Amino acid sequence: MRHVRMLGFCLVAMVALGAMLASSALAIKEPDVAWAKFKNCPIHGEATFEEEVKPAFKCTFGATRKGEGGSYTVGSITVPVTKPILLQGAYTEPEGKTREEHIAHERLGILIPPEDGAPPIVPVAEHVPGEPLANVTEAEMNEFGWPEELEQSYKAAQKHHWFKEGKTTEVIEPAGADRDYVSEFNISSEEGSAIIASIQIQGKNKWLESIGGNCQIGSEADPIVQHLTTGPSESPLTGEIITGTSGIAGDAHEALEAYLTGTVLVDNTYPVPGAEKCGGAANEAYLDPVVNHAFGLPAVAGASKTELIGALYIAQPGPVSEH
């Protein structure tokens, strides 16, 4: 049962750190029991918890399913997760302590990134369906006082097909100063918050880059806070209930490695702030309102939704080092 609980921990962490890292060239089968996936485990890594140093407890590697890794909705836009989101690193043994946002008595573990410079999460761009920036109207340009130069730039981008389907992408990244903690118990019991984590989203488009900068949704100061669970999650706005699952557990290499497949992590309780910095400092006053209108932002708590599907693998540092 301990293996099952800890398996869930790091799959959640891949999202929470926002997660989301991947390489589209990698097609991770499920389950994948090769030792090579743990090559970047920080075997000698450590983390500090309330001034107490904690060493690496288990190596971990996680991946969402290629092509069917779930989806996330921000405001009015739903983005499918089609590329594997990969997690690599280790985590500390959970502590019987809590942080302010957690329910009392939940056990927490801290993610430790690789020691060799490899990233624990490498953000990957997912295409935004429907191309929400394609049809800014003259009325919107006038309402928000677009200067002539900006209007002409936008119209030129339309002629160059910079707003065709799939030309705008979103990338999920970590945000906020707080570490990300996970409850083992809630993973296995399929109730309560499995993890509380802070993320931000970069909305990218060739035109935005050309005029000064891409959009940012969430930030260090105002992150999107995920309360991911393997159990039920109820929207405070609509009352809709979505449900995750801890998945199916297995082991390999004479139980030196354990894995969990078919894990589903969900959350439909979080608010999302408005987009900012669209087009850079010179253009954000004109473009932020247009982008927020297109994406339905800011969105109140319960208007957005996350669902992630995949597998997680763990092993103790000793066997990983040997292999």
The model's pLDDT over 46-92, given as tens digits with 9 standing for 90+, comes to: 888 777 888 988 888 878 899 999 999 988 899 999 998 777 888 88
Question: Which residues does the chain have with pLDDT short of 50?
Answer: 1-27, 98-105
Q: What pLDDT sits at residue 178?
A: 59
Is the pTM of the predicted complex or chain greater than 0.75? yes
Whole-Å CA distances, 90 to 27, 177, 257? 22, 20, 14
Contact 182, 108 (CB under 8 A): yes
Rounded to the nearest 5 degrees, what angle is found at the Cα of 121, between the Cα atoms of 127 and 55? 165
How many Å apart are CA 235 and CA 203, to the nearest integer? Answer: 25
Q: What pLDDT sits at residue 179?
A: 65
Contact 202, 171 (CB under 8 A): yes
Contact 172, 156 (CB under 8 A): no
Q: What pLDDT sits at residue 253?
A: 94
Cα 264 off chain centre by: 14
How many Å apart are CA 9 and CA 314, to the nearest integer? Answer: 10
> Any idea what DSSP says for residue 95?
B
Tokens representing 276 are 């900012």
